[in-house]
Amino acid sequence: MMVGPGMPSRDRGMPSRDRDGLDELEAIAALEGFGVLTERQRALVDEERVRELEHAAGALFTALGRARVREAPEDAQRRLEGLLSTQVAADGQETRGRGSSHLHDTLRGLPQRGASRGDISQRDHSGSLSSEGAAVASSPEVDVAPGTGGLRPAPFLLGWVAAAALLIATVVAYGRVVSLEQRLGEGPADVRLQELVATTPDVEVLPWATDGIGGDVTWSNAKNEGFLRIDGLAVNDPAVAQYQLWIFRGLDPSAEAHPVSGGVFDVDREGQVIVPIDAQLELGRAGMFVVTVEKPGGVMVSDREDIVLVASRV
C-alpha cells in the first residue's frame, strides 16, 4: 500500500499530528493492515517520514523480535529456493511476453466469491458442455506460469527454466490430475467417504458457502484425506475446462500465495457428485477449500479469477 505521493514538506524532527488528525503512527498502522487511510489523509501523510519510521520498526523487530535464530529446515529451504527460482524464470518470461508480473499474479488475493452454477458454461471456449459430460479427467499437465504458453524464455534464463522444470517434476502434485475413473476403481467414492467418516475421529464436515450449491467438504487432518460432495455445479467439458481444488492451510487466501492443489476433477452429470481429494502434500491443518475453473489438466498456480466454490472453517 502506498501512502501517497505529493506529500507536503514537514518537520523531520519528532512526528506530529497533521491537521487532518492523522499521524505517522496511524499511517504505519494502516500499512500493517490495521486501518485504511482516506484519500485526503494519504495526500497529507509524509510518505518519506512514514517509511523512515517503519524501517525503524523493522530494525527493532530484528533486534527485539527474536533473541535466537533457528535455521530454516533443509526441505523448507529447498522449496523456497525452488519457488523463487521458478518465479524468477516465470517473471522473466511474463515481463518479456506481456509486460505484467507473474509475482503479482501469484500474490493476487482471493477475488470475491464468485460464480454459481452454470458459470463454467459461459466461459469463452469453443467446446460446448454436454449434460452427459465426460467423467475422466485429462492427462496430467502443469502450468508454471498461466498465460505464458508459447513464450520463449530469454537465453539467460534457460538454465533456470530447466531448474524450474526439475522442480515441477518434483512437485507435480500441485497440478496433478485426479482420475475419477481410476479412483472409482478403488471402490465407490460414497462408500469410501462413509468409511472415512466412520473410522476417523478428527473428521470435519465443512459446508459449501456458495449460493445454489449443496454438499460439503469432509476432511481429516490426521489422515490428510477427504472428499468433496457437490450438488449443483455445472457439468463441464474436460476438453474445455476443468475444476481444480485448492487447499489453504489458513483462513486468509490473500495471505497464502501457494495453496496446495487438491487435484483436478470433472462434473459429469447433474445432481450430486463425490470427488476424492488428492492432496499430495501433508497439510498439517486445512483451513479452507476453494474450487476454481482452470484449463484442462489444471495449473500449478491459479490466477484465482474463476472461483466457483468455497468452504471454510469460519
CA–CA distance, 291 with 53 (Å, rounded to integer): 41
Q: Residues 127, 271, 263, CA angle at the centre, nearest 5°?
A: 65
> Counting contacts by CB under 8 A, is residue 7 touching another protein?
no
> Counting contacts by CB under 8 A, is residue 165 touching another protein?
no
What are the beta bridge partners of residue 204? 219
CA–CA distance, 109 with 303 (Å, rounded to integer): 9
Nearer residue to another protein within complex by CB, 51 or 125 = 51
Binding residues for another protein, how many (CB under 8 A)?
Answer: 69
Asked if 212 contacts 117 with a C-beta cutoff of 8 angstroms, the reply is: yes
Long-range pairs, 7-11, Cβ under 8 A, ≥24: 7/43, 7/44, 7/45, 7/46, 7/47, 7/48, 8/44, 8/46, 10/46, 10/49
CA–CA distance, 146 with 260 (Å, rounded to integer): 16
- Shortest reach from residue 272's CB to another protein, in Å: 32
- Shortest reach from residue 111's CB to another protein, in Å: 18
Contact window for another protein (CB under 8 A) among 27-35, 181-189, 197-205, 229-237:
27-35
> Counting contacts by CB under 8 A, is residue 256 touching another protein?
yes
Contact window for another protein (CB under 8 A) among 37-45, 152-160, 198-206, 233-241:
152-160
Nearer residue to another protein within complex by CB, 259 or 276 = 259
Cα within 13 Å of Cα(222), Cβ side: 8
* Nearest Cα residue to 284 out of 228, 224, 207, 211: 224
- Shortest reach from residue 34's CB to another protein, in Å: 6
Contact window for another protein (CB under 8 A) among 68-76, 140-148, 172-180, 187-195:
68-76
Site string for another protein, 210-249 (x = CB under 8 A): ---------------------------------------x
* Residue 90, C-alpha cell as written in the block: 516465470
Nearer residue to another protein within complex by CB, 76 or 239 = 76
**Position among 7, 10, 20, 31 found at the interface with another protein (CB under 8 A):** 31
CA–CA distance, 183 with 209 (Å, rounded to integer): 26
Cell 508454471 appears where?
144
- Shortest reach from residue 279's CB to another protein, in Å: 12
Long-range pairs, 54-61, Cβ under 8 A, ≥24: 54/28, 57/28
- Shortest reach from residue 8's CB to another protein, in Å: 19
**Position among 7, 43, 47, 54 found at the interface with another protein (CB under 8 A):** 54
> Counting contacts by CB under 8 A, is residue 166 touching another protein?
no
Under the rule (CB under 8 A), what is the footprint of another protein?
13-15, 23-25, 29, 31-34, 51-73, 76-77, 79-81, 83-85, 87-89, 91-92, 95, 101, 103-104, 106-107, 156-157, 159-160, 249-252, 255-258, 282-285
